[in-house]
Amino acid sequence: MTTSPGPAPADAPSTTILSKEVDPYVVDGSQIAEPPSTLRGKLKFLGPGMITSAAVVGSGELLTATALGATVGFMLLWLVLVSTFLKVWVQIELARWSISTGRTAVDGYDDVPPRIGRRGWIAWLQLLMLLQFFIGQAGVISASAFAFSSLLPIGPEPYSLLSIGTWVAILVVVAIAIHSLNRYAVVERISTVLVLAVTLFAIAMVFLLQGTQFAWTLGDLGGGLRFQVAAGAIGVAIAMFGMTGVGAGETTAYTYWVVEKGYAAWTGPNDGTPGWVTRARGWISVMKVDAWVSWVVYTASTAAFYVLGAAVLHPQGLVPEGNEVMVTISSIFDSAVGTWGGVLFLVGAGLALFKTILANVPSLSRIVGQTLAVFGAYDWRDQTARNRWQRIIMIILPIGWGLLGTIASSPLLLVIIAGILNAVYLIGAAIATVYLARTQTDPRIRDGRPTEVMLWISAAAIIAVGVIGLVNAF
């Protein structure tokens, strides 16, 4: 098993082509390659963003964005665009640091002061976040099983413990089987296919409304794009900002994927030469195209789910919560366009949720694995040990998610704890990104004042939402 980087550029050394000897986390200059200079060339090396998109569009977008649209109608459609747009800047700057140093986020978080004992404070937070990751994904896998069980119940009752539990077991086995090889290329290809499929599904469902009584107009969309927030919708707006777009977990995971794709290895170690600066800026440019393409994809999906809630549920005064969102919209499509419409929605919803699990099994295994390494469980630089730990973690995580998601139907205390940890994690990730960008990223590969201003705005907005989330949690 190997976590080899993705396909190498045509002029790259042969050692960068998928090989067990190549460790993408070792940046020693042996894999240096010149970056593409044209947009067409850059598009050939995209991929990490598709994995991020697969992780982003999950229960938060399918269930929460739809419910928020049901609550306030089209009014806050603009906030979907603003929320996802602002967060990308933190994602890009952390990935810039990662490409330039060859290091990944959890390793960098340990450098951020103040230190508690021998570890940085965010490293300790990262250790606590293992609980949040566990709780959050348990909800996603149970929601995906809920959708598939609604279509194909196992036993007489679709929402019985037998049916939901069996579907959870099926999804867990599929997730483990797909990731048994732990190869970057497999994760990228599956994520790309599923992300594009789910995005097309979400957009198709929105346009399918046009033949029903829930048809929307350009005026509805235009009204939703005006910068306005009703007095009673401020809380909803804050919740939407926190739940849409890349979160701290996806931003952290993105650094692993840009390294495993090969951007850092192709850049090479910083030897202070103009050649390194040129390569670094070139591969960072590829990464930025990757990040913005993925932004377009997951923003389109999120906006589509929001429009479904605003167009279908809001006029009827329906504000379902949790998995009821899927059942309610499915039944409405069933009566409005025929049985096939409801079936199509449940299939798409189930896939949208399950692809989040498929993306997060390898993503979180890397985060969890390096967190344990930071605290001395093993040496992250030892590829054999790293792969062995990741293989074990990628079995334990989905099994644990499945068990918790099946048994704890409404773990209120766990959800509250997860909410508190996630709010603090947002704050920590934003602070860490600014700190690492200012202290460790070579000034020669920064993009100038406008980008720096956007980073500060992005970090400030994320920190503000994290603080508000903490206040609400208590």
CA 167 to chain centre: 23
**C-alpha to C-alpha distance for 95 and 85, rounded to whole angstroms:** 16
Q: Which helix (H) or strand (E) holds 5?
A: none
Q: What is the pLDDT, as a whole number, of residue 385? A: 95
- Continuous H helices in 244-323: 248-261, 263-267, 274-308
Question: Cβ(301)–Cβ(202) under 8 Å?
Answer: yes
Name the one residue in this structure whose structure tokens are 């400030």: 460
Tell me the mean pLDDT per 10 residues along the chain, length 474.
47 38 88 94 95 80 82 91 93 97 96 93 89 84 90 90 93 92 88 91 92 93 88 74 83 96 96 96 98 95 92 90 83 86 91 91 95 96 94 94 80 59 85 96 94 95 85 73
Tell which CATH classification among 1.20.1260.60, 1.20.1740.10, 2.70.70.10, 1.20.140.10 matches the domain 32-473: 1.20.1740.10
**C-alpha to C-alpha distance for 11 and 82, rounded to whole angstroms:** 39
- Terminal alpha carbon distance of the chain: 45
The whole-model pTM stands at 0.91
Q: What is the pLDDT, as a whole number, of residue 363? A: 94
Q: What is the pLDDT, as a whole number, of residue 335? A: 84
**C-alpha to C-alpha distance for 92 and 245, rounded to whole angstroms:** 13
Residue type, 440: Q
Residue type, 123: A
Residue 115 carries which DSSP code? Answer: E
Q: What is the pLDDT, as a whole number, of residue 101? A: 96
Q: What is the pLDDT, as a whole number, of residue 47? A: 95
Question: Cβ(261)–Cβ(184) under 8 Å?
Answer: yes
Give which of 252, 247, 246, 248 is closest to 370, Cα–Cα.
Answer: 252
